[in-house]
Amino acid sequence: MAMSILKLRNSPALRSAASSARIGVSSRAFSKLSEGTDITSAAPGVSLQKARSWDEGVSSKFSTTPLSDIFKGKKVVIFGLPGAYTGVCSQQHVPSYKSHMDKFKAKGIDSIICVSVNDPYTINGWAEKIGAKDAIEFYGDFDGKFHKSLGLDKDLSAALLGPRSERWSAYVEDGKVKAVNVEEAPSDFKVTGAEVILGQI
């Protein structure tokens, strides 16, 4: 069974889908996320943690943000990445969205969200360091439940990162997924940048 899954994930058909202008990969093969999926229903009871300092966390009594607050009634572009302070994430993925904010606004996007399997304090420090916090909303998925619910979790122990996520992006309207892209490998940056998702809105 494991070999069958491995062959499916590395099949030519999957690689072909990864370069599609409409869908980054076959979401059926890669995740539970596909066009038409209600992202809040796909991850029931899951909340994310808005990036903040430790003191802000204490003052907010370590509050979390329900997915419905993030997606319902809004046009949202969300992208997930393996981790704060990592190479491709810092040097390419986040900058691609930061540099296209005006284009997203022109298309009526309400918010651009970055989510990572990190605690909200680490992702807050990282967002501030790369100068992106004012343009992009950052959220932590500290226990990985959000990504696990969507089938986007990834074991990156080989890179000493432990349980993390795939590199992915999606356009979501009122909670419904309109487009989704997932890289073949978390180190890739071919289908999840801002330019691709802009063409899908």
**Residues annotated catalytic, as ranges:** 89
Q: What are the helix (H) ranges across the chain?
A: 2-9, 12-18, 27-30, 39-42, 54-59, 67-71, 87-88, 94-98, 101-106, 120-129, 145-149, 194-198
83 contacts 93 by C-beta, under 8 angstroms: no
Would you call 45 exposed, middle or buried from its count of C-beta atoms within 10 A (0-12, 13-18, 19+)?
exposed
Distance, CA of 39 to CA of 47 (rounded, Å): 12
What does the DSSP 8-state code read for residue 27?
H
Query: CA distances (Å), 83 to each of 106, 160, 161, 180, in order?
Result: 29, 11, 8, 19
Distance, CA of 139 to CA of 116 (rounded, Å): 7
